[in-house]
Amino acid sequence: MGTITVVGLGPADETLLTAQTRAAVETAPRCFLRTRRHPAARVMPDAVSFDDEYERGDTYEAVYEAIVERLIFEAAKGDLLYAVPGSPLVLERTVELLREAAAVGGVRVEILAAMSFLDVAWARLGVDPVSAGARLIDGQDFASAAAGQTGPFLIAHCHGRGVLSEIKLSAEEGQDSVVVLQRLGLPDEAVFEVAWDELDRRVEADHLTSLWIPEFDRPIAAEFLRFEELVRELRERCPWDRVQTHGSLRKHLLEETYEALEALDARAFLDDSEVDAELDSHLVEELGDLLYQIFFHARLGAERGSFTVADVARSVHEKLVARHPHVFGEGALDGVRGPEDADDMARRWEQIKRDEKGRASAMDGVPMTLPALMLAAKVQERSEGVGMVVDSAVETAIEGIRDAVANAETSPHAEGVGDLLFDAVALARGLDIDPETALRDASVRFMKRVRAAGR
């Protein structure tokens, strides 16, 4: 296996290349570029570019993994040089992946020092990053990377309006303005302030755009941190909260869930244009009450040293990623294209859950506390995954209902009525209607007729 020499092209054009990098480029037997979309890339006119991977990849991570795979393959043929924008060790994901792959594959990787955009940025801002305690963050991961912190932040990779929008929305109550740095070290460089709420409207972002935020008025995710602290304080100081257990909170979780469902039902017959601020406010209130129950249970877990609300969030994050291989896995789809795809995803979801939990039967894990109509629908859905299909074709389901009605007429008993309801659920599924919601809506309509009659 050959050696892969990694060099950085610096923050701007070739005037900021190091002499060591120039010498390495001139003597390298073969040269590869992560992208030609960089001002200094012109010093390597004969290099092989990986820009084609950006055309094929669905995500940046997929692109970077493909680039590394090709580099390892090429290293089997002999030594090569790989050039990246900026510095190889500053927010350069391909270099991280390359070092990991090289350690496994026995490839030697040599990294040469290079000037990064940071050096120019600190000079333009007049900031000592060490004394200021500045943190460098990738704009694509801003919301999670900056959670709970107040800055200062230098945010790199702000290459598009979508990235700027996500940064702005993740900290709606940020400071009044932000400093934009663009094309540092080039003749058309620009350093200017823009109002926070105008960030994604006034800035024409490109691949050489960064942001400087000295400090936020409130940290990212401040409301969640503040809420967690409130739950902790209530648990310590409120007599009622102090005596609660997971068991005693069960009924409250159930009550808050039903109240949240009631808030949703209030919007059931309305279009989005008809939903007013009062209905939204009611839903926000009920979802908040439900959130309190979740945080409370996490607080009890934290007191035992068992788990925290962060573990709850991390667990569901990992579970959702694992259960969506069509989104995050190899060969990820670019989106669900129709009902058939959605049905296939639902079946795969159930199979993944069954494999995860080592269930022997498709019926294992069905919550028996579900309302009867929801239980019937869940049982029918689960049965499809193991070949015991309850035929929900409309004609077949209607025929089943007729048979059940005939049986009920000749021999009325609870079992016959149960069969009738079971077949009605199959009909609802065949029409792609949720039976629980349908029966609830029918009950609400009847209630309205009773009230309209003044009774």
Tokens of 405: 């009605």
Supply the pLDDT for residue 291: 95
Name the residue with higher pLDDT: 222 or 287: 287
Q: Predicted confidence band at 384 (pLDDT cuts at 50, 70, 90)?
A: low
Distance (Å) of CA 300 to CA 231, 276, 312: 10, 37, 12
- Kind of pairing between the strands at 31-33 and 80-84: parallel
Supply the pLDDT for residue 5: 96
CATH class of 3-115: alpha beta
2 SS3 class: coil
Supply the pLDDT for residue 128: 95
Q: Which long-range contacts (CB under 8 A, 24 or more apart) does 388-395 make?
A: 388/362, 390/426, 391/426, 392/426, 392/427, 392/429, 392/430, 393/430, 394/427, 394/430, 394/431
53 pLDDT more than 80: yes
Give residue 106's region: left, alpha or beta (phi > 0; psi -120 to 50): left
Supply the pLDDT for residue 269: 66
Q: Which are the contacts of 409, defined by CB distance < 8 A and separation ≥ 6?
A: none
Domain extents for the chain?
Answer: 3-115, 119-213, 222-322, 361-452
Average pLDDT over residues 283-298: 94
Lowest-pLDDT range, 176-180, 285-289, 331-335? 331-335
Highest mean pLDDT among 33-47, 197-211, 368-382: 33-47
Tokens of 198: 């105008």
Amino acid of residue 341: D
Average pLDDT over residues 190-200: 90
Residues 311-367: tens digit of each pLDDT:
888 888 888 888 777 777 665 555 545 445 555 655 665 566 556 555 556 556 666
Name the residue with higher pLDDT: 138 or 348: 138
Supply the pLDDT for residue 333: 54
Q: Predicted confidence band at 3 (pLDDT cuts at 50, 70, 90)?
A: very high
Residues 87-124: tens digit of each pLDDT:
999 999 999 999 999 888 789 999 999 999 999 999 99
CATH class of 222-322: mainly alpha
- pTM equals 0.57
Name the residue with higher pLDDT: 305 or 336: 305
Distance CA 307, CA 299 (A): 8
Supply the pLDDT for residue 432: 79
Backbone phi and psi for residue 336, each to the nearest 5 degrees, phi listed first: -75, 130
Supply the pLDDT for residue 357: 57
Q: Establish whether domains 3-115 and 222-322 are of one fold.
A: no
Lowest-pLDDT range, 37-51, 296-310, 373-387? 373-387
Per-chain mean pLDDT for the chain: 83
Count of positions (residues) in the chain? 455
Lowest-pLDDT range, 25-39, 70-84, 124-138, 216-230? 216-230
215 pLDDT more than 90: no
Supply the pLDDT for residue 339: 47
- The answer to whether 38 and 9 have CB atoms below 8 angstroms apart is yes
Average pLDDT over residues 423-430: 79
Percent of the chain predicted with pLDDT > 90: 41
3-state percent breakdown (helix, strand, coil) of the chain, nearest 5: 55, 10, 35
Tokens of 81: 């040089």
Average pLDDT over residues 247-268: 87
286 pLDDT more than 70: yes
CATH 3.40.50.970 at 119-213, yes or no: no
Bridge partners of 108, per DSSP, are 3
Q: Predicted confidence band at 160 (pLDDT cuts at 50, 70, 90)?
A: confident
Highest mean pLDDT among 188-192, 310-314, 423-427: 188-192
- The answer to whether 94 and 84 have CB atoms below 8 angstroms apart is yes
Supply the pLDDT for residue 390: 54
Name the residue with higher pLDDT: 200 or 21: 21
387 pLDDT more than 60: no
User: In 146-276, which ranges are continuous DSSP H helix?
Assistant: 161-170, 199-202, 222-237, 239-242, 250-265
Supply the pLDDT for residue 336: 46
Name the residue with higher pLDDT: 151 or 240: 240
CATH of domain 361-452: 1.10.287.1080
Average pLDDT over residues 120-137: 93
- Kind of pairing between the strands at 209-213 and 153-156: antiparallel
Amino acid of residue 20: Q
